[in-house]
Amino acid sequence: MGSTKPLRLIQHKKEALWFYSFISFGYDHVFNPGQYTEDMRDISLEHARLHSRALKVVDVGGGTGFTTLGVVRYVDPENVTLLDQSPHQLDKARKKKALRGIKIMEGDAEDLPFPADTFDRYVSAGSIEYWPDPQRGIKEAYRVLSADGVACMIGPVRPTFWLSRFFADMWMLFPTEEEYIEWFERAGFKDVELTRIGPKWYRGARRHGLVIGCCVTGIKTQSGDSPLQLGPKAEDVSKPHVNPIFVFFRFLIGTICATYFFLVPIYMWIKDKIVPQGRPI
């Protein structure tokens, strides 16, 4: 018996743009504390190998610059580019003093406005879940990196608990760990590694999935484009959507489903306080 195809109501650029026009107001202070902590960011960036301040780094889908703030601790701001499709998120990034000097620009993760072999490091956190074609986005990561460049992808993991999986499938893309590795290897990356991350109060529990749950890295060993050949983009943001009412419907229902994943971290935090240490939660 075949499984039902996930709806993923916000896994489209138009709906995601609307979604972030609203949550950008409280993104750093409401969303991140429960889903993507500074500790998780710092652990992930260790795998990005930011060992020189002269490295050229692009943060794709960087939004308000939360991950970029971690990058500029290791790399000079003038060598860092922050790209996102949401002007509302980027407005927040521009107001952060620590990000002064970086280049901030609007752009599409699946069609990056840079020549091949431009950057030494590619970082993307909390963005792949909105890409209509994640393989294309990872192929673009490969293309814009120079030889020996490292890509670091930080994103969600698929739930195993049925209710969490239902809301995940209604909301956006929650890849499996195997899918991440396959996408990287198909794009041409070598030495692909996946590291599990999550808020400390989850105690390693992963059955509900995590909006930010893993860090995947790969190395580009040769200059030039990815050997992977793909067809046309699944969604072109430059073209008007066929039905604005349909977009709004998807956005509304998808946002309601997203609320579940704002409540799960609170539930897990309460369990962490109640269940004795050493016992699974």
Q: Which structural domain range is residue 114 located in?
A: 13-222+240-274
Q: What is residue 234's predicted lDDT score, i.e. its pLDDT?
A: 74
Q: What is residue 1's predicted lDDT score, i.e. its pLDDT?
A: 40
Q: Is 193 within a domain? A: yes
CB 206 within 8 A of CB 180: no
Sign of CA dihedral 6, 12, 18, 22: positive
Q: What is residue 22's predicted lDDT score, i.e. its pLDDT?
A: 65
Q: What is residue 49's predicted lDDT score, i.e. its pLDDT?
A: 98
Q: Is 209 within a domain? A: yes
Q: Is 3 within a domain? A: no
Which CATH number does the domain housing residue 204 bear?
Answer: 3.40.50.150
Q: Is 70 within a domain? A: yes
Reported as a single tens digit per residue, the pLDDT across 236-279 is 655 555 577 887 888 889 889 999 999 999 999 999 999 999 89
Q: φ and ψ at 154, to 5 degrees? A: -120, 120
Q: What is residue 228's predicted lDDT score, i.e. its pLDDT?
A: 96
Q: How many CA atoms lie within 13 A of 256 on its CB side?
A: 5
Looking up tokens 């030039």, which residue turns up?
A: 224
Q: Is 8 within a domain? A: no
Q: Is 235 within a domain? A: no
CB 172 within 8 A of CB 253: no
Across the chain, the runs of DSSP E, i.e. the strands, are 57-60, 80-84, 103-106, 119-125, 145-157, 190-196, 210-220
Q: What is residue 187's predicted lDDT score, i.e. its pLDDT?
A: 98
Reported as a single tens digit per residue, the pLDDT across 151-164 is 999 999 999 999 99
Pairing of strands 145-157, 190-196: unpaired
Q: Is 182 within a domain? A: yes
Which residue type does 268 have?
M
Structural domains of the chain, count: 1
Q: Nearest-CA neighbor of 199 among 87, 39, 55?
A: 39
CA distance 209 to 32: 16
Q: Is 18 within a domain? A: yes
Instruction: Kindly state the tokens that stand for 168.
Output: 């995940």
Over the chain (281 residues), the average pLDDT of each successive run of 10 is 73 74 66 89 98 98 96 98 93 96 97 98 96 96 98 98 97 96 98 97 96 98 96 68 75 89 95 94 92
